[in-house]
Structures are given as C-alpha cells and as structure tokens.
Chain A
Amino acid sequence: MEAKRVLLLADLSPGCSGRVVRIDGGRGIQQRLEAMGVYPGVQIRKKSALFGYGPSIVAVAGSELAIGYGKARRIWVEVEEVEDPSGR
C-alpha cells in the first residue's frame, strides 16, 4: 500500500486510520461534525461499515460515532495506517 493517499471516509476500508483533511459542504454540516469531534486535522479510525450505502462506524476523539453515508461522502481522510481489519 502506498502512503499518504486521500480517500473519502465512505470509501475507506474498515481498520484503516488517518487524519481528516477536508469536509465538503456548508457551515451546517461542518458545525455538526465539529461538535461531535470530527474536524480537519483530527485523527480518525474507521472501525466498520454496513453494506451498500450504510453508515460508517468510526473511532474519533475517544468516542465511537456512526456517520451516515451522505456525510461519509463529504469527509476526506488522509490514510496513514492500513491495518488488517480482522485485528481490531
């Protein structure tokens, strides 16, 4: 795996972690995500995701969040570490 790839949170495979680099969208979505601890610069780890357009489960700022597909499609993550998804 090459390092420093930037992917959408929705496309990130489970077990990967990285840093949020950008959130697309207006002030509203930025604010709502920021309130829950998701903001550009924060360390994030995708724990799992449900099939199809299901939500992504992430670990961020010490808590576990479910982020729906619509929002996960707006969060860009710089991949830093690719883990074996089974080694959670």
Chain B
Amino acid sequence: MKILLVGNPNVGKSLIFSQLTGLNVTASNYPGTTVEFYRGHMWKGEERYEVIDVPGMYSMEPGCEAERVARRMLDYGDLIINVLDATNLERNLNLTLQLAVCRKPMIVLLNFWDETKQKGIEIDPEKLEKFLGVPVIPVSAVTGEGLGKMVERLPEAGIPPFYIEKPDKRWRRIGLIVREVQSLRRRRPTLLERLQNLSLHPVYGLLTAAVIMGLAICFIVYTGEFFSGIIESLMTRWYLPLIQKLSGLLGRKGLLHEVLIGKLVAGGVSLKESLGLLTTGVYVAFGVVLPYISIFYFILGFLEDFGYLPRLAVLMDRAMHRIGLHGFAIVPLILAFGCNVPGVMALRNLESRREKFIAGILMAIGIPCMAQLSIIIGLVGRYGFSYLLLIFAFLFFVWTVLGVVGNRLVHGHTPSLLMEIPPYRLPRAAVQLKKLKMRITAFLVEALPFVFGGLLLVDLLHALGVIKWLSRFLAPVISGFWGLPETVTSTLLIGFLRKDVAVALLEPLALTPAQLTIVSLVLTLYFPCAATFVIIIKELGVRDTVKAVGVMITVTLLAGTFLHLTLDRLFTPQVLAALLTGAAIALGARAGGKHDPEEFADLPGEDGTGEEGGYNSGKEGIR
C-alpha cells in the first residue's frame, strides 16, 4: 500500500513524513523546500505502508519541475493524504477539490491546528468532513499531535464524491464551504505579524535585509575562526603527539607513511603541511571545514524556519531581474553557499529553462561552497582582510557581468515573481538541532570519502608522473597567464574532486598573497567539483552543461590573467576591490534602466505548457 503526502507547498508535509517514518528530510518555512519525492515506510500493526513525501503543488497543472515531479507521483499512489494548512483553509481547499479527479481514497489533515487558535481561526472539522465526504483530522506536525488518530482512521479513507472542473465554480464552492465551517475572530496583530509587515517595507525592509545579511556573514567568519582555532589547539595538544608516535612506528618513511602521514616538514609532522590522510585530511575536514559548515547551517536553518528567505526573495526581485532571474532565485543561490549540490537541486523551483541556465552558471562559477570558503578564509585571511575582500569583490563582478550578459544573450523568458509569503514562525530548538545534525552528518558521510580520496589521488598521480607531465603541458597558462608556480597543477587537478582539499594543498607552497588570491579565485571559478558537476548534468542536461563549461573556462582564463597583470603591480587589493565593486554596480544599474518589455508579452514560457517535453529534450534554443 502506497500512501502519498500531497498538498500545497509549505504546509508541513515533510515534517509529517519525518514523524510517520522516523526518517529525516529537510523541512523549512518556505514554499519549495522539497523538490524530489522521498520514500519511507511505517507500520500499522502487522501491515507495512510505504509513505511518499511529494513536492508541494498548488494545482493539477504543473508550473515548475518540482510540481511536475509531484503530478507524476499522483498516478503512483494507492491512497492520498492531503495535508492542508489550517490557517489558510480557503486557498488549500482548492487543491483538495481538484485531487478528487484522481479517484483515489483520501484523508484530509488540517496541519498547524495549534496555530489556528492563536490566530483567532475556528474550524469545525466534523462539518468539513461532511462537506468533503472524507475523514478530516486536525494535526500538529511539530508535536505529532493527531497523527496517531490519522493512522487509526486510515481504513476509513474514501473517494471524494465530487468533482468540479470549472475554476470559478470550484472557487464558489470553496467559498461556501469556508463560510460554513470556519469563523474568524478579530484580534490585534501579534508582534510577529508586525515584524512581517515591517520586513517587506520598501525602506525598512531593505535596511533590515542588509543588516541581517551583514550580521550573518560576520557571525559566520568570526565564530568559524574562533571554533576552528579551538579545535586546532586541541588537535595540536592531543592528536598531533599520537600521529608523531605513529610516524615513528612506521619508520618515518615508506609508502604507508607517505599515504597516512605524508611528508615531514622541518623534520616533524605538520597537521597543515604534511598532506597525509591522517594529518592534512583530518585537519581540513574536522579542524576547518566542520566548524564553518556547522555555523553556516545553524544560521541558514534559523532563517529558513523563521520564514525570512521568501521575504528576501521579494526584496531582491527587482535587482534579480537585472541578471535575468526573479526574486525566488535568491533561495537556491543562498543554499549553494552551504554546498552547490542542494543549490542546483533547488533550481527545480524555477519555471523556465533560461532561468535555470543563468542561475546554474552563476552558482557553479561564482558561488564557492562553505567548505572551500572556510579554507580560503584561513589561508588568505592571514594576509589581512583586503585580499579576502578582493576575492568577494571579484566574484560579485563576475556575477554581475555574467548575469547581465546572460540576460541579454540567453533565449527565452523570465516570468515575473509569483510566490506565497508564509507567516513568520518561531523555530523550535529541537527541530533546529535535528536539522543541523542531519546536515552535518550528510556532510561527513558525503564529503569525507572525497577528502581522503583526493589526497590519495594526489599521491597516486605524483607517483605515476602524471602531475609532472601535466605541469609541463599547462605551464604556459599557469605560469604565463596567471604567474603561478607549476606546483599548483596538482591543486587544480584535485579541485575537480573536492575544492576544500585543493585550497588546503596550497599551504606548503609558499605563495605570495597575490598568487594565493589568484589561485583561490581560479579554483572557485574554473570548474565545479565532481558532485556538483554530476547534478548539473542531471538538472540542466548535457547541452547546457557543455555551454556552461565553455563559459567557465573563458571566465577563468580572463580573470586569472587580469589579476596577474594588475594585482600588487598596478593596484593594491583595496583599490582593485573598490574598482570592481563600483564597475559591477554601475553595470547593474545601467542594465536595469528600463523594464524588460518581454515581461508584458504573452510568451509560452510563462504558461508552463511551452516546456512540457522537459528542458532535457533541448527544444528551446539557448545560444
């Protein structure tokens, strides 16, 4: 028996799924957190039920890829559990009435039941049950209240006896039902609701956004540094002596010593510079990347569950249209700072192929993941804040140029924003911790093998002489264009696998600050890591991926050469950062001078039918 959890986006399906199956899937307070379906199972006595968490959908006509996934799933299930947001009954019932077309047994859950009381909403579930002809059960996904009753009433699930095809008739029917079963009490707006209005205010809203983003970045950089420092001193005190002992046991040389411990630096073992699995590998993963990632996801988790991200999307909408995207695209781009893989996945919330292509390129080229950033902060930050600033200014510049050019050249149409803004909700500590734990575990499980694999590969390629051969082959570009020593070749190779390891390999090379800046930027721009690359091919298709790779190589060549010619020769990093930021802002402002006339034309991209074949079929042209 297959049970589908179906409903509008952001009604709490994923949390209910976690409660029913004991499996953890990410849940947040913005529409479109789930873009794929998840399977799990639950037991009722001796019976085993398969439970499937379906991405949210507003209607039976899919508007984006995530909704298309949901639509396909509907044919697959045996029983539909329709999850409704009880604080928003009217809009949610629209899907309920349409689901009747599936002719499948159904149960209706009224989630956020506890919240209705605070909001002065009173719903009569028994009356609603009579109207819908299927069981209606009030639940609270966060506490799990009411879910037991739902499991109990599973056998009562019935096929809804109505189906109304015409939208206007359907809405009239919904109006009638809502008037009968729901009563509203007038009350004063709560503090959260006042905050809600404030954060979308044209002036205060933008100010708040700037302050929140600034604080978040400072918090991540400073606490990351702090915790990383603590872990490093703990490792030096307790872990390093163990490794030194092991090094002695292994005879201080030989193949195994080379792989596990690495090279001796000044006659001793160095956690940072020895480049062995147990030295650099462990240090990079646990001493640097782990603290930064934990703090990033701690902040992101809070912003997600509080409901801030959709507001940011609204505030950024205008600016994002200048680079060919609409406001919601900010959400995948922010997710990409944690790791590009979930960022690329979240592109499924965007409607047109053009948006996906532009956002995908911006992400793969211009957004370094937290793991890579943490090592860059540690390595480049040593020479003062200015070089770090330059890296960010440069990425911002590349971003704006690519966005503006992409907006001009990429065919197709970017529809305007249409998004539900969920209410602010105070995140619960237990839910937050669970989510944080889940994301950190995912990092450890998915990243560690690549960190160790990357270091092993360097050893292997050195031993086989591949790196020497490649260094000679790439010398004109690496030393000619970028002014870097040939020794960085191995880092470029490992960057394909794992970018944090690649940057960490720079530690023993004794590069100048300018060289470090150039190679850090080159490593960010030139190519996404293997995991991201695979997911980009899956989401964008081979053709668009090939084009994206072309753009990446061009941008990297130009950017590296430009920096080599100017940084610390013509300009100090501060001046260069200021120049690049100014140029980017000027370009962005000019590009947005007039409104995109295409938005007013009725183009196929906006009706969701022009792309029925899926963007992988490559019907629509991108130059």
Q: Which residue of B lies closest to A38 (CB)?
A: B418
Q: Does B90 contact A (CB under 8 A)?
A: yes
Distance to closest chain B CB from A9 (angstroms): 12
What residues of chain B lie closer than 8 Å to A49, measured between beta carbons? 202
A47, B421: Cα distance in complex, Å: 12
* Total count of chain A residues near the partner, CB < 8 A: 42
**CB < 8 Å neighbour of A48 from B61, B197, B596, B608:** B197
Q: For the complex, is B602 an interface residue (Cβ under 8 Å from A)?
A: yes
0/1 per residue, A43-60, Cβ < 8 Å to B? Answer: 000011111111101001
Q: Which residue of A lies closest to B178 (CB)?
A: A62
Contact A29:B313 (CB < 8 A) given known A57-B200, A68-B418: no
- Inter-chain CA distance A9–B313, complex, in Å, is 20
Q: From the candidates A31, A57, A64, A88, name the one contacting B61 in the complex (CB within 8 A).
A: A31
Q: Do A28 and B315 touch (CB < 8 A)?
A: no
CB pair A64–B608 under 8 Å, yes or no, is no
Q: In the bound complex, how far is the Cα of B144 from the Cα of A83, in angstroms?
A: 41
Asked if B37 is an interface residue, CB under 8 A from chain A, the answer is no
Query: With contacts A35-B61, A42-B171 known, is A50 near B606, CB below 8 A?
Result: no
> Given A28-B606, A66-B314: A34 and B167 within 8 A (CB)?
yes
Taking a contact as CB atoms under 8 Å apart, the answer to whether A47 and B318 are in contact is: no
Complex CA–CA separation, A49 to B602 (angstroms): 23
Closest B residue by C-beta to A59: B421
Q: Are B90 and A69 in contact (CB under 8 A)?
A: no
Question: How far in angstroms is the closest Cβ of chain A from B204?
Answer: 11
Q: A33-B418, A57-B421, A62-B88 are in contact. Are A68 and B315 (CB under 8 A)?
A: no
CB < 8 Å neighbour of B317 from A25, A31, A37, A55: A55
Which A-chain residue is minimally distant from B596 (CB atoms)? A70
Indicate if the CB atoms of A52 and B317 lie closer than 8 Å: no
Which residues in chain B, 37-70, are within 8 Å of chain A measured between CB atoms?
Answer: 58-59, 61, 63
Give the distance to chain B from A84, nearest Cβ to Cβ, in Å: 14
Which residues of the partner chain A approach B167 to less than 8 Å between Cβ atoms?
34, 39
Closest to B203 in A: A51
Let me know if A36 and B91 touch, CB within 8 A.
Answer: yes
Bound state CA distance, A74 and B418, in angstroms? 13
A69 near B599 with CB under 8 A, answer: yes
Q: Which residue of B has the minimal Cβ distance to A49?
A: B202
Instruction: Tell me, in angstroms, the Cα distance from A48 to B168 when the chains sit together.
Output: 27
Task: Given the known inter-chain contacts A39-B168, A39-B171, please indicate yes or no for A71 contacting B91, CB distance below 8 A.
Answer: no
Residues in chain B near residue A51, CB distance under 8 A: 202, 318
B20 within 8 A of A: no
The reply to whether A35 and B201 form a contact with Cβ atoms under 8 Å apart is no
B177 to chain A, nearest CB (A): 13
Q: How far is the CA of A15 from the CA of B101 in the complex (A)?
A: 38
Complex contact A69–B595 (CB within 8 A): yes
Contact B602 A52 (CB under 8 A): no
Taking a contact as CB atoms closer than 8 A, the residue among B315, B417, B604 that contacts A67 in the complex is B417
- Say yes or no: is B419 at the interface (Cβ < 8 Å to chain A): yes
Q: Which of A26, A33, A39, A70 has the largest number of chain B CB atoms within 10 A?
A: A70
With beta carbons under 8 angstroms apart, the residue of A27, A37, A66 that contacts B419 is: A66
**Contacting residues, chain B, for A54 (C-beta < 8 A):** 202, 314, 317-318
Q: How far is the CB of B325 from chain A (nearest CB, A)?
A: 11
Q: Does B208 contact A (CB under 8 A)?
A: no
A60–B604 CA distance with the chains assembled, in angstroms: 26
A-B contact sample (11 more), CB < 8 A, given A65-B418, A67-B418, A70-B600 = A31-B61, A36-B58, A36-B418, A48-B201, A48-B202, A50-B315, A57-B314, A63-B421, A66-B313, A68-B317, A68-B326
22 A-B interface contacts by CB (under 8 A): A28-B608, A28-B609, A29-B607, A32-B418, A32-B608, A35-B59, A36-B58, A37-B171, A39-B171, A50-B314, A53-B318, A54-B202, A55-B314, A62-B91, A63-B420, A64-B196, A66-B327, A66-B418, A67-B416, A70-B599, A71-B415, A74-B600
